Structure formats: C-alpha cells, structure tokens
Amino acid sequence: MTTTSNVNSADHLYDLRTDNQVKSAAKSAVEEMQSRFMTLLTAQLKNQDPMNPLDNAEMTSQLAQMSTVEGIERLNSMFQKFVDAQIQSQIDTLSLQAVNLVGHGALVAGDNLTLTDEGGVAGFRLDGSADSVTITIKDANGRAVRTMDLGSQSAGVQNFVWDGMNDAGEKAENGNYRISVSAQKEGEAVNVSALQFGMVTALTRTSEGSLLQVGSLGNFTVDEIWQVL
C-alpha cells in the first residue's frame, strides 16, 4: 500500500503571531517615548535661561538619540511587514495542503477499525523501533477476534490491513471493531499508539485554522493527520 507522510506543522504560526503582538506593544511604547522626548525638549527650549542657553552639544546628542530611535522603529516596521508576508504565505500553503487531502484516506489517533468486504485498515505509531508488534482486534463485546503478529517494525507511523478472517480462519462479520497494539524490543515494552482510518470528506476554515472532517471520526487539524493513504 502506497503511503505519504504528512509532517508539515502550523504550530509555529501561533508563536509568530504572539511575537507580533509583543512587537506591536513595543512599537506603541517607542511612539510614546518619542512623544515624551519631544515634549521635554520643547519645554527645555521654552524655559531655558537666556543667559545660559541649552548647550548645542547636548541638544545635538538628544536629537541624535531620537533619530536613532526613529531609525530602529523604521527598521522594525520593515521587518514586521516581511514577517507578516511570510506568515500569510505559510497559511496559504497549509490551506492548500489541507484542501488536497479531501478525498484521501487518513490515519488519526484512535482505536476504531471498520471491516468491509474489502477488509479493514488501521495503523499505529511507534516511539522507537520494535522487534515484535502485536495487533489484537476485538468485537463490540470486547472479545478478541483476531491476533496479528506483524513482526519487527521501524519507529514512526505504520499501517496494516486486516483481511477480515478471525483466528479460527472464518470470515468475521462486517462492522465496527476496536484494536489494541503492543510492541517490544529485546523483551522491553516500546511505547505505541493505535491509529484509526477514515476518509477526509470536507475542509472547514475557522478563526483558529483549517479543520478536516475525517468521515464519522470527527474534525482534525492538519497536524493531527498522522498518515495519508
């Protein structure tokens, strides 16, 4: 079975937006500082002693300080525009990727497995490589119907197909089942999580990002799609 891993992440967009809010607050602080500076400088010029006017060097130094602040602010503004453009570009890219997932099968977190005449598909995610991976398929009453030994598997996301045969070699009834997965390496347990399969049927845009509807399994973000089949 051909699979394509989807590992693109949008988590960093939240961090960038948070950073933008911080910079915006800093911009307001700089503008306020400039206003206070001009107010103080004007007051100094109005109230200076005619017999002892404000020293030219001191005034030049103060004006240079204000010019430096303004220069930094212009630089920050240019950089902010660049960051905003990058964020929008990444949002557009992620949205396009999400749209392209509609109509494809996907593995998401969960332990459901639906058996049809063509069989059943599910998967698992290993935190490390394992020399033994065992899948147990249970019916609605929690009774084990089929135990599958998948042997050694590498770390990451893997999928498997159940042909629908039970441990007695008979065809199980079509319907909903649940899976449990265990893995070991050299006698030690390896952390493993079950993944369920569904078809991506729709895309919904929200204020928090794109949500993909995976059949009857519910809505998931792009980051929650572990594998596309």
Asked if residue 220 and residue 114 are part of one domain, the reply reads: yes
Rounded to 5°, angle at Cα 218 from 93 and 194: 90
Please tell me which of 10-24, 52-66, 134-148 the model is most confident about, judged by mean pLDDT.
Answer: 134-148
Asked if residue 219 and residue 138 are part of one domain, the reply reads: yes
Q: Any residues with CB less than 8 A from the CB of 195 and at least 6 apart, and which?
A: 107, 108, 109, 110, 122, 123, 124, 125, 157, 159, 226, 227
Q: How many domains does the chain have?
A: 2
Q: If we measure between CA atoms, which residue out of 102, 111, 120, 124 comes closest to residue 220? A: 102
Through-space distance between the first and last CA atoms of the chain, rounded to whole angstroms: 8
Asked if residue 52 and residue 115 are part of one domain, the reply reads: no
Q: Any residues with CB less than 8 A from the CB of 95 and at least 6 apart, and which?
A: 205, 210
Residue 139 · residue 162 · CB < 8 Å: no
Please say which residue of 101, 118, 145 terminates a domain: 101
Give the domain range for residue 215: 105-228
Query: Model confidence over 48-94: pLDDT tens digits?
Result: 555 555 555 565 666 566 666 666 666 677 767 666 655 555 545 55
| Per-residue model confidence (pLDDT) at position 54 | 52
Asked if residue 97 and residue 111 are part of one domain, the reply reads: no
The pLDDT of 190-203, averaged and rounded, is: 94
Which residue would you say has higher pLDDT here, 43 or 202?
Answer: 202
Asked if residue 123 and residue 79 are part of one domain, the reply reads: no
